[in-house]
Amino acid sequence: MKITFKALVYAIVFTCFCSVAKAQIIIPDSVRIGVGLNVASTTGNSFGVAVNKAIGDEAKSAYNFGAGVSLNVDIPAYLLSNLYVTASAGYMSFLKSGNASKSAQAIEGIKTPNFNMIPVKLGLKYIIGNRFYVNAEAGESFLANKQQLYAIFNNAFTWSPSIGLVMPFTNHHHQYIDANLRYESTKTFYNDNNLNNYWSLRVTYAFNL
């Protein structure tokens, strides 16, 4: 997994969130719901629709940045303290870059559309010190505009490791801001070996039921 400048920027932003964490909190051992906003940047040279490599040039992705929304559910596992079963679903739209017109799937006279995915995943989350956590999820990503992108498959396997920080509202002990930095990889929607990889920073409003 190659560390890029964009990934470093996300790490710095996430560190800023971490700097506000001072006191320990007790997260109620009950189901927690979160609604979040995501910003993302792709990594590698084959996200979505790979760009043909020109002589003497490096291949580049047709998509660089994306944004989306997500819904997350944390369910206490009870078998182990601070362990939760997680479920998440979202909508991510990646904006085409200046390289899109040169992509392998580009058709003359037709603009390359955004790359829209609906990831649905299950996983495990472990809370560290009642504030920080690590999370690993896997599932499927569905292509929302398959026909426009001339894709072969409707869905593809997705996996995602992440780290996060829970910050409670001062006067509302069961409401939080959840900041999460993750790396997500999705297999191809075409008959090739390309991967759709990206870094994402998610900020979520969460509350206990």
Q: Which of 63-72, 168-177, 187-196 has the lowest mean pLDDT?
A: 168-177
| Yes or no: domain 5-20+31-208 corresponds to CATH 3.90.180.10 | no
Q: How confident is the model at residue 21 (pLDDT cuts 50, 70, 90)?
A: very low
Report the alpha-carbon distance of residue 130 to residue 127 in Å, rounded: 6
Task: Let me know: does 48 contact 99? Beta carbons within 8 Å.
Answer: no
Question: Which residues are bridge partners to 43 per DSSP?
Answer: 197
Residue 23: is its pLDDT beyond 50? no
Tell me which residue of 107, 110, 102, 117 sits closest to 189, measured CA to CA: 117
Report the alpha-carbon distance of residue 7 to residue 181 in Å, rounded: 10
- Answering whether pTM is above 0.85, one says no
Residue of higher predicted confidence among 46 and 199: 199
Q: Give residue-wise pLDDT tens across range 123-143.
A: 999 988 778 999 999 999 999
Cβ neighbour number for residue 15 with a 10 Å cutoff: 11
State the average pLDDT over residues 105-122: 85
pLDDT at 65: 94
Q: Which sequence spans correspond to the domains of the chain?
A: 5-20+31-208
